Structure 1
Amino acid sequence: MSAEQPPVDQHDVTVIAVPKGRILAEALPLLARAGVVPEPAFSDENSRALRFATQDPRIALIRVRAFDVATFVAHGAAQLGIVGSDVLAEFDYPELYAPVDLGIGHCRLSVAEPAALAEHDDPRGWSHVRVATKYPHLTAQHFARRGVQAECIKLNGAMELAPLLGLAPRIVDLVSSGRTLKENGLVEVEPIMDVSARLVVNRAAMKTRAHVFPLVEAFRRAASAQERAA
């Protein structure tokens, strides 16, 4: 009879932050390929828990808002995370290292406006724009490169309501199929960047935690395997 292994010190547990929402469903197979299998409660839609054990007592998952993944990892509360390249570009944390493009969560960040406005509008003639977005930094950068003055109104959701209710005539938001835009009478008029999900790592943890580098390599192999299988 083998002796029981001593319990893992919680300070030695590597925490991976994963996003709620659209990326999560695509991330689960990648986690499994990387050898990270969450406890059953992780899949329980009625669970209010935010931290979950995995099959490896040295690894735990936390489930947070997509925009918060980068913050948790940058400040060392989590050592790794899965986050869109849009979020990385918006916050540009120097503490983050993004070694692996996971090849999931593909979409684009675009400028959109009401279809009726787009019929006679030419983005090349813009000199000043009023835009509702949850990406004020990226939006201002994009328009500054074009020599356009941008007035950004920060919203955290329901972006499509801004033109309908007169808050701002244009929005900058993520677009995948374009269905949500169409259902709200909006159309894309200018792309800003292509987006995909990345594995991010806290730079200090990469150097100081022995378990982090093998996890990065496991995710790299998982992403490559998934790409080959596609």
Structure 2
Amino acid sequence: MKKVRIALTKGRLEEHAVEIFKSIGADITELEDKGRKLIFKSENEQFNIDFFLVKAPDVTTYVEYGSADIGIVGKDTLMEKNKEFYEVLDLKVGKCRFALAALPDFNLDEGYNRKKIATKYPEVAREFFRTKGLDIEIIKIEGSVELAPIVGLADAIVDIVETGSTLKENGLIIVEEICPISARMIVNKASMKTKKEEIGKIIEEISKVIS
């Protein structure tokens, strides 16, 4: 049985992923008691897996370059990347959505000035406004984008919304929902051939669980 290396996104998606792998019979003992380890082995009669935890944008890098055979990452991250891997499963966890949000007096079609949009996801925002035929200025923000319209840096924001409570607490409203997002499984293109049996079994077992 060939070893399969899996990169998991740290944080909330990590918790969802661990539960999924536990449900298909993978040994997640080391993942539940991480300590200072960087690689977490999962070996039993069913699976031979090495897990490691990285930040979301790095999951795609490890998978693209073949250091990981499989990655678990949010669709939001994938929408910002050129796909040099296979996206094979929607895991149906970590559900939220991209949305355009602003202060209540914002009107997308009003005025002649080019609208300024603050976001952590410039490609998602750019594509959304391109489909509307609107020319906008993207302002890349790394921190709390909700601040941008309040202090006048931007007219509106494009961001991930889960419950909407953060927007509400800061006086912002959802102007338009862009698309739903959730956790996805991605696979290195070469690994899909060289470890076809092992990866196929993981995909098959997880498909049963999520369906």
Q: TM-score range by the shorter chain?
A: 0.7 to 0.9
Number of residue-to-residue matches in the alignment = 207
Pick the aligned partner of 2:96 from 94, 97, 107: 107
* TM-score relative to the length of structure 2: 0.87
Pick the aligned partner of 1:35 from 22, 25, 48: 25
* Distance change in 2, residues 1:178/1:44 (3 Å): farther
Which aligned segments of 4 or more residues in structure 1 are displaced greater than 3 angstroms? 47-50, 124-127
Mapped partners of 2:21, 2:94: distance in 1: 14
CA contact (8 A) 1:35 1:218 kept: no
5+ residue gaps, structure 1: 1-7, 225-230
CA contact (8 A) 1:38 1:55 kept: no
CA RMSD of aligned residues (A): 2.2
Which letter maps to 1:157? G
* Distance change in 2, residues 1:49/1:158 (3 Å): farther
**Counterparts of residues 51-200 of structure 1 (less than 5 Å):** 51-56=39-44, 58-93=48-83, 95-114=84-103, 118=104, 120-125=105-110, 128-200=114-186
CA contact (8 A) 1:50 1:64 kept: no
Mapped partners of 1:24, 1:156: distance in 2: 22
Mapped partners of 1:35, 1:157: distance in 2: 38
Deviations 1:193-214 (A, max 9, x none): 1111111111111011242221
5+ residue gaps, structure 2: none
* TM-score relative to the length of structure 1: 0.80
Q: Is 1:222 aligned to 2:209, yes or no? A: yes
Deviation for aligned residue 1:28: 2.2
Mapped partners of 2:38, 2:118: distance in 1: 30
Residue identity (%): 38
